[in-house]
Amino acid sequence: MKTILENAFEKGFTYTEYRNFASKLIAEGKVTGYEQSKELLHYAELNETRMNRLDKTIIITDEVQDFLKTTSNKMIWLVLTESWCGDAAQINPIINKMAMVSDNIDLRFVLRDDNPDLMNLFLTNGSKSIPKLIILDAETWNVIGDFGPRPQAAKQLILDYKAAHGIIDETAKIELQKWYLHDKGISTQKEIIALLS
């Protein structure tokens, strides 16, 4: 496992590199990952707009900032992601802002489709759901915890919708985006910090 984690980290992007790479692909009419379609490109374009907004508006709470500033543990945060993923667009900017608070966090983004061995170690109920944040001890590479693909309340919203309607359609995706807008990143911050406490 350590070798898989180290290899992924070595080819990982900083947040800025990841954003620039995704933007360059969009300009070429492409998305990250092996599957290409107009629908995925549409989602990637929407996500670019979302992330631009969130980069400006997301606020890390005082409580979370205090915790991150006082923790002395050196950590690696490794995020499995793709440019077309709506949840990733909502969560990656929060993870980045949290990592910026502490000098003890080394953050890297890696593409799910380019890292199947890593993804297979962190499946969600057997699926390759993203984003997936993997928190590692920087010295031992031991896994401290993992978070994703979305906060508990957002997971429940989707489960309830699927139970009621039998599918996850565009309406469900809109409801999920509204939830993220209302939550302002608070649930994501709290759940990540809970892994470190």
Q: What is the pLDDT of residue 79?
A: 98
C-alpha to C-alpha distance for 197 and 194, rounded to whole angstroms = 5
- Report the distance separating Cα 17 and Cα 124, nearest Å: 27
159: nearest Cα among 133, 194, 124: 124
Distances in Å between the Cα of 146 and the Cα atoms of 14, 76, 109 are 19, 12, 14
In the chain, what are the domain boundaries?
2-149
- Judge if pTM exceeds 0.85: yes
Cβ neighbours around 7 below 10 Å, total: 14
Query: Of 158, 136, 153, 154, which is closest to residue 145 (Cα–Cα)?
Result: 136
Domain 2-149: give its CATH code.
3.40.30.10
Q: Which residue stretches of 60-134 are H helix?
A: 62-70, 86-101, 116-121
List per-residue pLDDT tens for the chain, 197 residues long: 999 999 999 999 999 999 999 999 999 999 999 999 999 999 999 999 999 999 999 999 999 999 999 988 999 999 999 999 999 999 999 999 999 999 999 999 999 999 999 999 999 999 999 999 999 999 999 999 999 999 999 999 999 999 999 999 989 999 999 999 999 999 999 999 999 98
Distances (CA, A) of 59 to 14, 183, 191: 20, 11, 15
